[in-house]
Structure 1
Amino acid sequence: MAHTPRWNATDIPDQTGRTAVVTGANSGLGLATVDALARAGAHVVLAVRDPRRGEAAADTVRGARGSVEVRRLDLADLASVRAFAAGWQGPLDLLINNAGVMNIPESRTKDGFERQFGTNHLGHFALTNLLLPHVTDRVVTVSSGAHRLPGNHIHFDNLNLTGSYRPITAYSQSKLANLLFTLELQRRLAAAGSPVRALAAHPGWAATNLQGADASALRRVVMRVGNRVVAQDNRAGALPTLYAATQDLPGTSYLGPDGLGEMRGAPTMVGRTAAASDAGTAGRLWQASEELTGVAFPSLDGQEVTAEAARP
């Protein structure tokens, strides 16, 4: 039987002439994503909270066939999100919502949201909708296998988990929100007659600096061991995102590693929980997110889609 080579970053189609934005791009999965897209010829914008660190990261990529630039974006500050979007001009082929925080101690964004939900979901929700009139091809949002945590759901009566905060509960809620956001975004794009697609991906277990911020000392130890024994490196962890970003896939596709437990391996289509597939919950989350951020789905080519439009 002939051996089928595993898909990797060298299989990315030529990206010359395409522009991408990658959030959280100064390290880890984000920087690996930037590097691969730039090597394939794209112009990639590193959207980062700390431009100085972003420039240092960009220096490791410069010299690739494509080009890179750094722009400031703090997803935990809606004013920063609005400023980034207001400064955008021209077409944007690809938006990759990669940035995130994981299992951190309880804290708030500048706008008062629980930081994991506010950064991982609400910041990207606002950014996507504000940039959407410029997007020509697709939006890829990075979720996590943590969305499968037993009993995980959107806490609509207490999205900030006030008085009942647990780091893992907050993180898994935010990752479930990423998938529900992708589901509802695709529904709205289709209803508006837009060719833009919304997709999601997860990296499996990738050794990144996210684990070092875990609120639990015990989990930090477990993560350090797992990073050495189980985890993929950043380049392998970025492959599902890159596959979602560059292959001809339908909207709402969810990509992850093909290995045992989706921990590592080559990118492939993967499943999601029933909670992550619930269109009613996705619509409710979208409405709540609009109310919290003050950002709504934009008019595309003069056709605006409301929360009720085109709903079965």
Structure 2
Amino acid sequence: MIFMINFSIETAPSQKGKIAIVTGANSGLGYETALALARKEATVILASRDLNKAKDALNKILIEVPKADLEIILIDLNSLQSVEEFAAEFSKKYDRLDLLIENAGIMMPPLTTTKDGFESQFGVNYLAHFHLTNLLFPLLKITPNARVVTLSSLAHKTGKISFDNLNAEKGYDKWSVYAQSKLACMMFAYELQRRLDSAGINAMALSAHPGFSATNLGAFLPSIASSLFSPLASLIGQDSKHGALPTLRAALDPAAKGGEYYGPSGFREVKGAPVKVRSSSKSHDLGVATKLWSVSEELTGKKFEV
């Protein structure tokens, strides 16, 4: 297969007959990802916690793609029970899962906890998606060439997995905790791929980051910073449509391989065409990855056996 040097949605293969889940599909990167997958004829599940916003997104997609095959299934990543209810509903309706796009996330909120008592950035960005993948894994492993695409961030490069402070027991620094959650997402993708390879399962785990993209992630920034975030992102970064392209390349490029990481090609990966990029040395720490997997199983209360 020839690697797509100039990737575009137009030249990506049709996804007709395939089933895709996009978390956080009602806005920003998630919406653009769902829209693009609908254009490629996939059946797209809009996984969102807000029904009205999800309906608005669905209607917007239908304006662009009148024949789009879309469904809303509610999920609140603040709650493991909600994740379990989502997985149960999806599994009752569908007998395959080709693309699991783990897009939803929050960035630098005030210190809060999920309904299960986890620090919210670690809980929402990483742990809920770990649990979701685990619950949907029976379908993923029987679907030929299934892909799990996990959203990371440039912030992962400053991240460190602090096992003694996962719930901010010893202090809360918004940026450090965000970076930790995004490093955890990336390490999960790498570790999942290693386990898929060991088990001989025909599926792939990949990760991507959008560069500096104008999304609603800046919602929790202080007012003065928030007022600068979107204009700055638009000036030196890229819009959500272009920010979604690394995710879409990971999901759709026929030459992509498990364990690959995609991001923008430009200076410092802030913006540009989607290409394979390198992650931090910490993201490849096998010992930390194995421990993180075990800790995640303990926190979610369910073994994740590949």
- Could you tell me which residue of structure 2 aligns to residue 21 of structure 1? 21
1:239 corresponds in structure 2 to 245
1:113 aligned partner, one-letter code:
F
Q: TM-score, normalised by structure 2?
A: 0.92
Structure 1 residues 258-299: Cα deviation after superposition (integer angstroms, max 9, x where no partner): 00010100000000111111111111100000000012224x
**Whole-angstrom CA distance in 2 between matches of 1:184 and 1:108:** 26
Partners of 1:208 and 1:224 in 2: CA distance: 7
- Counterpart amino acid of 1:148? K
Residues in 2 aligned to 1:269 and 1:205: alpha-carbon distance in whole angstroms: 16
Q: Is residue 2:231 matched to residue 1:229?
A: no
Deviation at residue 218 of structure 1 after TM alignment: 4.3
- Partner Cα distance (2:52, 2:229) in 1: 28
Query: 1:172 maps to which residue?
Result: 179
Alignment of 1:62-77 (within 5 A): 62=62, 64=65, 65-77=67-79
Question: In 1, are the aligned partners of 2:213 and 2:234 still within 8 Å (CA)?
Answer: no
Task: Name the stretch that deviates more: 6-15 or 81-90.
Answer: 6-15
Residue 100 of structure 2 is aligned with which of 95, 99, 103? 95
CA distance in 1, matches of 2:290, 2:80: 22
How far did residue 192 of structure 1 move? 1.6
Question: Does structure 1 retain, via aligned residues, the 8 Å contact 2:83–2:128?
Answer: yes
Q: What residue is the counterpart of 1:36 in the other structure?
A: 36
**Following the alignment from structure 1 to structure 2, what is the Cα–Cα distance between the partners of residues 283 and 5?**
34
Listed one character per residue, the Cα deviations across residues 231-261 of structure 1 (whole Å, up to 9, x for unaligned) are 2111100000000001121111000000001
CA distance in 2, matches of 1:17, 1:124: 24
Alpha-carbon offset, residue 52 of structure 1:
1.7
1:27 and 1:7 map into 2 onto residues whose CA distance is 23
Give the 3-state SS of the residue equivalent to 1:210 in structure 2: helix
Amino acid at match of 2:75: L
In the alignment, the residues of structure 2 paired with residue 250 and residue 115 of structure 1 have an alpha-carbon distance, to the nearest angstrom, of 31
Is the aligned partner of 1:209 residue 2:211?
Answer: no
Cα deviation for residue 223 of structure 1 reads 1.4
Q: Shift in Å at residue 31 of structure 1?
A: 0.4
Alignment of 1:250-261 (within 5 A): 250-261=257-268
Contact 1:155 1:161 in 2 (8 A): no
Could you tell me how far apart the structure 2 residues matched to 1:28 and 1:57 are? 10
CA distance in structure 1 between the partners assigned to 2:225 and 2:6 by the alignment: 32
Name the CA distance, whole Å, in 1 between partners of 2:56 and 2:228.
30
State the Cα deviation string for residues 69-89 of structure 1 (Å, max 9, x = none).
Answer: 100011110000001111123
Letter in 1 for 2:152: S
- Confirm or deny: 8 A CA contact 1:256 1:262 kept in the other structure: yes
**Pairwise CA distance, 1:173:** 0.3
Aligned equivalents of 2:225 and 2:211: distance in 1?
17
Contact 2:22 2:46 in 1 (8 A): yes
The residue that corresponds to 2:153 in the other structure is: 144
How many aligned residue pairs are there? 293
Q: Aligned-pair distance for 1:199?
A: 0.2
Gaps of 5+ in 2: none
| Structure-2 separation of matches of 1:189 and 1:90 | 20
Q: Is the partner of 2:86 in helix, strand or coil?
A: helix
Percent of paired sites with the same residue: 47
Structure 1 residues 274, 264: closer, same or farther in 2, change over 3 A? same
Quote the offset at 1:111 in angstroms: 0.2
Q: What secondary structure sits across from 2:47 in the alignment?
A: strand
Question: Which of 121, 129, 135 in structure 2 is aligned with 1:130?
Answer: 135
Q: Choose which of 104, 111, 121 in structure 2 pairs with 1:106.
A: 111
| 5+ long unaligned stretches in structure 1 | 299-304, 306-312
- Cα distance in 2 for residues equivalent to 1:289 and 1:105: 23
What letter corresponds to residue 139 of structure 2 in structure 1? H
CA deviation after TM superposition for structure 1 residue 184, in Å: 1.0
**Counterpart Cα distance in 2 of 1:217 and 1:169:** 20
| TM-score (norm: length of structure 1) | 0.91
1:92 partner SS = coil
Counterpart contact for 1:8–1:266, Cα < 8 Å: no
